[in-house]
Structure 1
Amino acid sequence: MSLAKLAEFQVQFARKPGLIHLNNAGLAPITLAARDKVQYWAERFYQEGFWTDADYMADVLSTRHALASLIGCQHDEIAWYQSAAGAINQFAFGVNLQPGDEVVIWDQEYSSHLYPWKEACDQAKASLKVLKSEANLQTPTEKYLEALTEKTKVAAFSWVQFSSGARMDTEAVIKECKKRGILVFIDIAQGLGIHPCKLWQWGADAVAGGSHKWLVSPVGVGYLAIRKELAMRMKPRVIGAYTYGTCDDPSDFACEPKRDATKFEPGSKQVLEITALGASCRLIHNVGVEVIEAEALRLASKLREGLESKGHTLLNPFGKAAISPMVNFYPKENISIEEVITTLNNHHINFARRGGGIRLSTHAFNTEEEITKVLRLL
């Protein structure tokens, strides 16, 4: 691991005394580069108004390129949304489910991934096949593959499950789905920015996520990356000027929708948040996702080993393998979850309650001193 590159990443984060960020799988702090980008555009909009028009649109385009480089897709295969839920809705309702079709999903999917598919299936009289997770929230690849049938139209799953970091052999799942003609939709909110992404290279049809977790950017940006051939066939769920052209084009009832993913964006973009995301994406790309992942996993392993040594029980779907920065645990018998929560809150250590336990999630900007303090308190 390059210590110089790691330092380049770590220096981007504020070190407010007394605060420890260990809910990075929920809401991570943003980078200095992202903060500066927000301030830059806020000041220019204040000073210049319309005279910023071409410049801010160029910066939004630059962000498309930066995000595309992390996903592995083309920039015009990306559509912006206010949240990942909006992106998931576009695909779930736009994929033209028919009566009798099946969508296969895990029972531990995050609600913003689960609910759109349930409603889309209900409206189309399709079947949502919900697979039960195994012990420790494991998501066995074999169980998922066995659930696929000739009726399966969409394999919908998270690259990394939000409660505990559980993962399937995604490459194997995509390969099998491609053989059977099954569409693959992946929620990548818990993976992009912290794990190297090869999902597009492996053949995923569409992926979606948001800005405020491992991409260390402001809340408020969702994205859908969708294959060009699918985008061309799929109808937008929300219609506006940008579905057909730009806000300056004359209205024309005979106009044709765009042919790339930007047709799914009906109007003006959330420029401050999108351009801030671009700044963080460029930082992550320059530092290297592998460098960031290695440090986050190293700290998570230290935390995981420390919790076990103190008698706490890990909710661990991947055994001894250090493949996730998420550390989910149950307190040992003589300590209640409420006591642990009180301790963490009193010492300004953020966390999440997930899967019945307490989830801590390390990022590469965390320090060994922070991990040591948490273990001492627990």
Structure 2
Amino acid sequence: PEEIAFVKNTTEGIGIVAQGLDWQPGDRVLACDLEYPSNVTPWWGLRDQGVETVMLPGRDGRLPLETVEEALASPRVRLLALSSVEFGSGARNDLAALSALCRERGVLFCLDAIQSVGCLPIDVAALGIDFLSADGHKWLCSVEGSGIFYCAAALQDRIRPRVVGWRNVADNHDFDTYQTALQPTAVRYEEGSPNMPGIFALGGAIDLALELGVEAIAGRVLALTDALVTGLHEKGATVISPRGAEASGIVAFRMGDEPPRRTVGRLLAENVYLAARRGCVRASPHFYNEPSEIERLLELL
């Protein structure tokens, strides 16, 4: 708990890192052109400080590890900013390998984990992740407006809060004394009154995930997506999402020449909810979905 702060959303957590580090002109951030805007624009916002964001090119919906390794060779790189799972393709990044590359070179690793938390296991300590941010409204099945930000304890003194308020100072219940000394934990990133209804909802969602077991949730989700991918291939669809170690809860595909938004629209008319993302149709079954619902989706396609 000393390394967790409550935030409004994934973007806010990433922004705490982007605005809190002591950047120097010429520093580099490595990002990727497969990323959701939340993990790009906060870094682009550092241009006026002389910080360059290098957009690594994805290939077939994936970011090759060798591309990252080559880019990390520059001594100017301060931080790697990636997602645990790419939102458009569903490709799961090799976090252990990426973290190892960063540690070898003294580079910080900031993770957008909204497409994993609540669906796939992530052990930040074992993986050596420095920062992680995730909203609660996706795989955690909570509400919008409440999420988590993880900052490794050893790095908290290097990430200066953007705002110092009543809550993130050291003695935050002494209302008679004005002070600026910070909390010794990640509460230093919670400057004011928290979103209590959202936090209680998030707590309930986390309790449910822990009760079911994250490993069990992952097994269920991957079994559903495996069945969907098999059925899509039988339908002649083009499946973008990888399988095996790179598989996630997202399946991205195209149905021939049909525009993805048109596919999504006709399925919506049948009360089947998918999304159009990055030129594909995106399906994201969760543990509560039934195999029969996957079969119905395939029939409608």
TM-score range, shorter chain: over 0.9
1:340-351 matched pairs, under 5 angstroms: 340-351=263-274
Give the letter for the 1:332 counterpart. Answer: G
Give the letter for the 1:234 counterpart. Answer: I
Q: CA RMSD in A?
A: 1.6
TM value normalised by structure 2? 0.95
For 2:283 and 2:124, the matched residues in 1 are separated by 26
Counterpart pick for 1:310 among 211, 218, 235: 235
For 1:339 and 1:282, the matched residues in 2 are separated by 38
Where does structure 2 lack aligned partners over 5 or more consecutive residues? none
For 2:173 and 2:244, the matched residues in 1 are separated by 57
Determine if contact 2:260/2:279 at 8 Å carries over to the other structure.
no
Q: What SS class does the counterpart of residue 109 from structure 2 fall into?
A: strand
Counterpart pick for 2:100 among 150, 175, 179: 175
**Residue 13 of structure 1: aligned partner:** none
Q: Which has the higher helix share?
A: 1
**Residue 70 of structure 2: aligned partner:** 146
From the superposition, tell whether residues 275 and 256 of structure 1 become closer, same or farther in structure 2 (CA, over 3 Å). Answer: same
**Residue 36 of structure 2: aligned partner:** 110
Determine if contact 2:142/2:201 at 8 Å carries over to the other structure.
yes
Determine if contact 1:85/1:222 at 8 Å carries over to the other structure.
no
Task: Count residues in correspondence.
Answer: 300
For 2:179 and 2:225, the matched residues in 1 are separated by 56
From the superposition, tell whether residues 322 and 224 of structure 1 become closer, same or farther in structure 2 (CA, over 3 Å). Answer: closer
For 1:253 and 1:293, the matched residues in 2 are separated by 48
Please list every run of at least 4 consecutive aligned residues from structure 1 whose deviation after the TM superposition is greater than 6 angstroms: none
RCO (CA 8 Å, sep 6+): is it higher in 1 or 2? 1
Counterpart pick for 1:325 among 236, 243, 249: 249
Give the letter for the 1:367 counterpart. Answer: E
Q: Percent identity?
A: 32
Residue 166 (structure 1) shift: 1.3
> CA offsets per residue over residues 269-319 of structure 1, 9 Å max, x none?
111111111111122112211111111111111111111111111112x25
**Residue 276 of structure 2: aligned partner:** 353
**Residue 3 of structure 1: aligned partner:** none
Residue 328 (structure 1) shift: 0.7
Q: What SS class does the counterpart of residue 167 from structure 2 fall into?
A: helix
Determine if contact 1:81/1:87 at 8 Å carries over to the other structure.
yes
> CA offsets per residue over residues 156-209 of structure 1, 9 Å max, x none?
111111112112321111112112111111111111111111233121111111
